[in-house]
Amino acid sequence: MPNLLESAWLRLLSAKDRESREAALLPLLESLRKSAQSLELSDLPDFSPRPVSLPRADDPFGESATTATASAASIDPAFRPFLSVTRERTAAELTGYLLQVAESSNPKWNAFSKIHGAEALAAARQVDTARSTGRPWGPLHGIPFGIKDNISVKGWPHTASSKILGQAVAAEDATVITRLRNSGAFFLGQTIMHELAFGMTSINPHLGPVRNPWDRERICGGSSGGSAAVVAAGMVPVALGSDTGGSVRCPATLCGLAGFKPSFGAVSRYGVTPLGGSLDTVGPIAHTAAQCLAVHQAIAGEDPRDPATLGTAGLGRREAPKSLGELRIGLPRPYFTGAMEPGIRKQVNLAVEKLQKAGARVENIQFPDLDAVNAAASLTLLVEAAGFFGPYLPQGKDIGEDVRGRFEQGLLIPGQDFMQAQRLRALWKRQVAALFAECDLLLTPTSPVAPPKIDDPYTELDGARVDARTAVSRYLRSFNFLGLPALTLPCGLDDLGLPVGIQLVGPGFSDEWVLRAGMLMEPVLGFDAKPPKA
């Protein structure tokens, strides 16, 4: 008689595979259980993954504070270098040029899964007609985007770069796509991602590895790897990705770009293939914080089809910062005392020094045990992802081995441990929210390692050989777990000439404020390098 207390899909596992999955889970479970020993009976779980936003007496949050918004009557200044409002370059001309670049470049970087050239040109001509009559549709009028494979565009394949969804076609646009269209944007093509968004390399078993435009022998990160590569290689000005454990910020920093993860609940996930129901977010990858802001303003807002967004309008808003001298920057100790490649540590410390010299007040602050937070975040994602995709496990080899293994791990995690993770989440969210009484934002390295090589994904950290594919997300997933907005900005090049990034994190729903703080920092950081062969 089958064991009804065990998932049917687990019974497909061999004894050897099950033992391997359990062994990989043990360090996470041990870390979680150690932290859970400090919980009181009164510590309730957090089943509302939206971030905590505490009011401050000196700078109150709330709807009374104003936030500048992009005008719908003109093209956002952040994108004018790509498309002149005086018709020096029409959208059709820009699109034709980018299609030529993509045709010659995409075979080298393997970033687009499908280029929709005819549709993009038709859309470009439409927006040019509207502009010629003096009626642009919005602040992104005439800007072509790359769209990650897990975001639905009506009539396009909707596969999340996986064979198990290989015949799926989107019946309607995702909410973020509808909002981009209403802002005047259109779409050049779909970008390859780590299968089902469950990994940090974008080495896809069905479509091949996405290659980093800074060095094609290296990964560009994941899971939104193709979205970062198409921007870094000059095939589109901006792309949309999703971020569940760092999947926008990781590839953005490894490709020398800006990338933004919004607060959980700030942007609708409707029409985006789910992975972690309490962790998934949607955000832009672009060249600058200003471009990320323009896109975020276009796609953010409540959506009845995504309950997480309801009631979020006006939360966390505050007056935009006017100078670096206003900013109090907290450096969370675990993010700076942990192992980091020397070239990256050097550039991150240099970035902090530049901000201090420009007037920002910088101080070290305490932070919850990062290993414990990451363990709880990882276990939460494994359980949630297995809930969505466990039924697909009988398809076996149609799912890549690395992704299938994570789904199987998720089915093995005891319910008690998942509950403890949510109780700890509630505790840590309150503790981190309280830190913003001491500082305006947090600053961390984005990744402690440079992009690893595709065929040799290991690096030396403090004398230990570690899997760099795991290390790239070490400083990222905590902020998905806490639901906070996070922006990565490039700040320099390491000793190998590869890009290094810093991450800025703000209180819950202070998304636009964080982006505007990033805009103040960019001139000070002074990063203007481009991939040498892109």
Question: Among residues 53, 148, 473, 510, which one is catalytic?
Answer: 148
- Give the chain's residues under pLDDT 70: 1-5, 53-74, 83-88
**What pairing do the DSSP bridges indicate for beta strands 208-209 and 328-332?**
unpaired
SS3 content of the chain, % helix, strand, coil (to 5): 40, 15, 45
172 φ, ψ (degrees, to nearest 5):
-155, 165
Question: Among residues 227, 242, 247, 510, which one is catalytic?
Answer: 247
User: How far is residue 161's CA from residue 196's CA, in Å, rounded to a whole number?
Assistant: 6
Catalytic, 7? Answer no
Catalytic, 16? Answer no
Looking up tokens 């994602």, which residue turns up?
Answer: 381
**Which H or E run contains 109?**
helix 91-109
Return the pLDDT at 415: 95
Cβ-contact 262, 176 below 8 angstroms: no
Question: Among residues 202, 223, 242, 510, which one is catalytic?
Answer: 223
Return the pLDDT at 2: 58
Return the pLDDT at 349: 98
User: How far is residue 115's CA from residue 29's CA, in Å, rounded to a whole number?
Assistant: 43
Nearest to 268 by CA among 285, 253, 280: 280
Distances (CA, A) of 457 to 103, 447, 464: 29, 14, 14
Burial 290-326 (b: 16+ CB within 10 A, else e): bbbbbbbbbbbeebeebebbeebeebbbbebbeebeb
User: How far is residue 190's CA from residue 88's CA, in Å, rounded to a whole number?
Assistant: 28
CB atoms within 10 A of CB 355: 22
Looking up tokens 């642009």, which residue turns up?
Answer: 136
Using a 10 angstrom Cβ sphere, with 0-12 exposed, 13-18 middle and 19 or more buried, the burial of residue 502 is buried
Catalytic, 247? Answer yes
Report CA dihedral (484, 488, 491, 495) to the nearest 10 degrees.
110
Orientation angle between helical segments 225-232 and 91-109, nearest 10 degrees: 120
Looking up tokens 């939460």, which residue turns up?
Answer: 380
Cβ-contact 464, 238 below 8 angstroms: no
CB atoms within 10 A of CB 511: 30
Residue ranges covered by each domain of the chain = 86-315+325-370+427-525
Nearest to 116 by CA among 145, 138, 82: 145
Angle at 44 between CA 310 and CA 371, to 5 degrees: 95
Cβ-contact 317, 512 below 8 angstroms: yes
Return the pLDDT at 53: 64
Return the pLDDT at 5: 64
Q: Give the end-to-end CA distance of the chain in Å, rounded to a whole number.
A: 60
Orientation angle between helical segments 15-36 and 370-389, nearest 10 degrees: 140
User: How far is residue 368's CA from residue 429's CA, in Å, rounded to a whole number?
Assistant: 10
User: How far is residue 330's CA from residue 347's CA, in Å, rounded to a whole number?
Assistant: 18
Instruction: Cite the DSSP H helix spans in 401-453.
Output: 401-412, 415-435
69 φ, ψ (degrees, to nearest 5):
-125, 155
Return the CATH architecture of domain 86-315+325-370+427-525: Alpha-Beta Complex (3.90)
Return the pLDDT at 62: 34
